[in-house]
Amino acid sequence: MKITLRNWALSDLDSLVGLANNPGIATNMTDGFPSPFTKEAGQQFIERTQKEQPSNIQAICADGQVVGSIGIYKLDDIFRLNAELGYWLAEPYWGKGIMAEAVKLVIEYGFKNWQLERIFARPLGKNIASQKVLVKAGLKFEYRIEKNLIKNGILEDELIYSMRIEEFNRINRSEK
């Protein structure tokens, strides 16, 4: 399967809602991910992704078909050498190794286009699949903060995984 990233377009609205309107996705996301994921929410989402060009939020395509979304958010102020990842995949596409490929593409985009020391992600402690994705994409476990996040009324651990620019350069060199 060929994994590519592209900008979201308003013509994706119906497929986006069909893919994203799933409490099984929302339960592992921040509350900024709408649940239910209505058409109105979908439209707001796509318009938000289009505000900045190139967009930091991209549609993930598997063999040309939209299957999910991934974003990289550059922090500012004293945190500005860091960028955070966020992503989701529609349920029919889980378990096929798609997200690790998308994460690798976005990490490459981040390190090549921005001045960054570190790219990180913060999955919930219960989200084993996401933790495995991050390790497969080359990120390393940094830290676990116990029971500091609240999702759907339940206290969850926050896990932090990251890749440093040195590691990115090392992987790139050895792949050449």
Ligand X SMILES: CC(C)(COP(=O)(O)OP(=O)(O)OC[C@H]1O[C@@H](n2cnc3c(N)ncnc32)[C@H](O)[C@@H]1OP(=O)(O)O)[C@@H](O)C(=O)NCCC(=O)NCCS
For the bound state, the minimum distance from the C-beta of residue 91 to ligand X, rounded and expressed in Å, comes to: 8
> Which residues within the stretch 53-112 sit at the binding site for ligand X (CB under 6 A)?
87-89, 94-100
> Which residues within the stretch 9-48 sit at the binding site for ligand X (CB under 6 A)?
25, 28-29
Cα–Cα distance measured from residue 161 to residue 18, given in angstroms and rounded to the nearest whole number: 30
Closest to ligand X by CB, 77 or 161: 161
For the bound state, the minimum distance from the C-beta of residue 73 to ligand X, rounded and expressed in Å, comes to: 13
Beta bridge partners of 121: 161
Please tell me whether residue 119 binds ligand X under the rule CB under 6 A.
no
14 three-state secondary structure: helix
Q: Does the CA dihedral 20-71-107-129 come out positive or negative?
A: negative
Residue 92 exposed, middle or buried by CB count within 10 Å (0-12, 13-18, 19+): exposed
- Residue 66's H or E segment, with its range, is strand 65-74
| Chosen residue from 129, 145, 150, 155 binding ligand X by CB under 6 A | 129
| Chosen residue from 21, 49, 56, 130 binding ligand X by CB under 6 A | 130
Residue numbers at the binding site for ligand X (CB under 6 A): 25, 28-29, 87-89, 94-100, 121, 123, 127-130, 132-133, 136
